[in-house]
Amino acid sequence: MTFTAPETTTHYVPKDLPTHIQHFINGKFVDSVSGKTFDVLDPVSNGNYATAAAGQKEDIDLAVAAAREAFVNGPWPKMKPRERARVLNRIADAVEAQEERLAELETFDTGLPITQAKGQALRAAENFRFFADLIVAQFDDAMKVPGAQINYVNRKPIGVAGLITPWNTPFMLESWKLAPALAAGNTVVLKPAEFTPLSASLWAQIFKDAGLPDGVFNLVNGLGEEAGDALVKHPDVPLISFTGETTTGQTIFRNAAANLKGLSMELGGKSPCVVFADADLDAAIDSALFGVFSLNGERCTAGSRILVERAIYDEFCEKYAARAKNIVVGDPHDPRTQVGALVHPEHYAKVASYVEIGKSEGRLLAGGGRPEHLPAGLNNSNYIAPTVFADVAPDARIFQEEIFGPVVAITPFENDDEALALANNTKYGLAAYIWTQNLTRAHNFAQNVEAGMVWLNSHNVRDLRTPFGGVKASGLGHEGGYRSIDFYTDQQAVHITLGAVHTPKFGA
C-alpha cells in the first residue's frame, strides 16, 4: 500500500466566505487608495475565491499615521497593565468562541489539515492569555547604593510596531506578535502574507468587540515588495518583527538600517533530528515523522535532516519509510487527513523541484511526487506525497537548503563527533532534536549544537515562557516570554541621588 486517502470526492468550501478582503485602518475597513487588488486562491482547487486590497506606500502611510496618533494621544499606552490585560483576555475569549470557524477558514486558505488548524486557533488564544498574565506580573529592577543613590528601570512602550507574518499557520503566528506588542502598550500595523489573508481579516472585528481603541490595530494587505517594503522603510515605525524566509530577512535588515530600527526576525531552518543507537526507537520515529510531516511540512522548525547512528540506520530507514507511506493525504477539511495541500502553486512548484533534485542526491524510500491515489477532484491540487530520501550526502542540496514541504533527508553517522559535525553543517540554526538515553551525551550535544532551540527526546513542545529564535541564518533576536516584553518596550534607567553629589569643579 502506498497511500491511504479519505474518500472525499468534493472540495469542501466554508459558508459565507468573503469575496473581497479589505484593509483595516483607524477602526474602519477600507480599500487601497489606488483601488489596486490581488487575487486570493485556495490551495485545493487553486481557484480564486476572493480579491484583496493591495496595499501600497500610501496605504501604509495612512495606517502608520493612525497608529502613531493612537500611540501619542490615545488611551492604550497609558492604561494600567490590568486594564490592558482585561482587553487581551476578552480577545482570547473571542478566539476560543470562534475556534471552529477560525480553523475552518484557516484550513480553506492554507491547506492545513483541519485537526491541526483547530490546535493553532486554541494556541492563538493562549498567547493572549499568557501575555495578559505576564504584564500584570511584570516588575522592573531597582538598584540601591545605600545613602548615595537609587536606580530603577522605567519600562515603557516604544511606539508603532510593524508586524510582518508568514503564510504557514498565519492566525496563530500573528497572535505571537500581536499579543506581546499590544500587551506592552504599543500600537501596531500588521502586514499578513499575501498568500493567506483570510484569517488575518478576522482580527479586526475581534479586537473591536473586545474594546481595543481605534487606531491601536491596523492591517494592510499586500505584496511584500510593496506593502511590506513600505512598512519596513517608514520612519515612524521604530520596530519590525518579521517571520519568514532568510533572503527576505536579509532585505529587511538592509532596508531597516537607514532608520536604525529594532529588529526581531525568525527566519528559515534546516533543523537536525539526531537519533542515537540507544534511543527509544519507536518514540524517535513517531517524533521524526510528526516533526517534518505535520503542518504539511511547512514549518520553520521541521526536523528535515534526520541523522541516524549507523548501528540502527537500516532499521530506522525501513520503519520510517513504511510509516511515511501510510500517512493519510487528502482534503484538508477531512478530519482523517494528516497531510493536506501545499499553500500555493508557486510553493508547490518549488517543493516539487526539490523532490526531483533529491532523486539524484539520495535513495528514494517513499513518495517522490504527487500521491498515487488521491480522491477524485483533488488531482490538480498542490499535493506532494510525504517523501523520504536516504543516504543523502552532507553537501547535497536537499541536505543544505530549506525545502519547507513534506520532504526529509536521512543521513548516517558513525559516532558523536560526526553527528555533531553533520548537525552543524548548514547555514541555518533554528532548532535541533536529539534522541538518546545517555544523559551526559544529551546535555553535551545540546550545548554544542548550533541551534537556538533544542528538544531532548521530544518533538516540538514549547513552553511560552522560553525564548524562541535561531542563530546563524535562522534569525536575529528572540521573542517569547519576557524576551517579547523586552523587545516591545524601552528600558529607561532612572538614577536618583540620595546624598551630596561630589562633582569635579571644572573651571572653578
DSSP letter at 329?
A: B
Tell me what percent of the residues of the chain surpass a pLDDT of 90: 93
Instruction: Report the distance separating Cα 380 and Cα 378, nearest Å.
Output: 6
What average pLDDT is seen over the chain? 95
| pLDDT at 8 (0 to 100) | 44
CB atoms within 10 A of CB 161: 28
Give Cα separations from 73 to 26, 27, 67, 77, 234 (angstroms): 13, 15, 10, 9, 20
* pLDDT single digits (tens) 425-472: 999 999 999 999 999 999 999 999 999 999 999 998 989 999 999 999
CA-nearest of 166, 224, 220, 217 to 191 is 220
pLDDT class of 499 with cuts at 50, 70, 90: confident
The reply to whether 83 belongs to the active site is no
| pLDDT at 502 (0 to 100) | 86
- Residue whose grid cell is 494587505: 221
* pLDDT single digits (tens) 81-101: 999 999 999 999 999 999 999
* pLDDT single digits (tens) 29-77: 999 999 999 999 999 999 999 999 999 999 999 999 999 999 999 999 9
CB 135 within 8 A of CB 141: no
DSSP letter at 379?
A: T
* pLDDT single digits (tens) 208-257: 999 999 999 999 999 999 999 999 999 999 999 999 999 999 999 999 99
Q: Which listed residue (104, 174, 226, 266) is catalytic?
A: 266
Does the structure show a pLDDT above 80 at 3?
no
| Buried/exposed 477-490: b ≥16 CB within 10 Å, e otherwise | bbbbbebbbbbbbe
User: Which runs of consecutive H residues, i.e. helices, occur in 169-220?
Assistant: 170-183, 203-210
Q: What is the arrangement of strands in the sheet containing 20-21, beginning at the earlier edge strand?
A: 20-21, 48-53, 37-41
pLDDT class of 276 with cuts at 50, 70, 90: very high
Burial label for 174, CB within 10 Å (0-12, 13-18, 19+), is buried
